[in-house]
Amino acid sequence: MYSLIWRLLPGPTAVKVGEAILLVLLVLWLLMAVIFPALEPHLPIEEVVVG
C-alpha cells in the first residue's frame, strides 16, 4: 500500500518525501481536530482522582 502511495506522488524523490511528510501531518491533524473529539463522548472514560 505504501509503495502505491509513493508511486502516485508526483515529482522527484525530494518532493515525494516532502509530500509524504505533509500527508502524515494532515492525517494527524485530522485525527486530533476532528475524529478524536467526535469519539470522546462515546468512550467509557471516568475521571479518577488519586489523593
Task: Report DSSP state, residue 34.
Answer: I
Report the distance separating Cα 18 and Cα 6, nearest Å: 11
Closest C-alpha to 40, from 31, 48, 28: 31
pLDDT band of 8, cuts 50, 70, 90: very high
The whole-number pLDDT of residue 46 equals 80
Domain edges within the chain: 2-33
Query: Helical H runs in 1-51?
Result: 2-8, 13-30, 36-39
The whole-number pLDDT of residue 50 equals 83
> pLDDT digit string (tens) for 12-38?
999 999 999 999 999 999 999 999 999
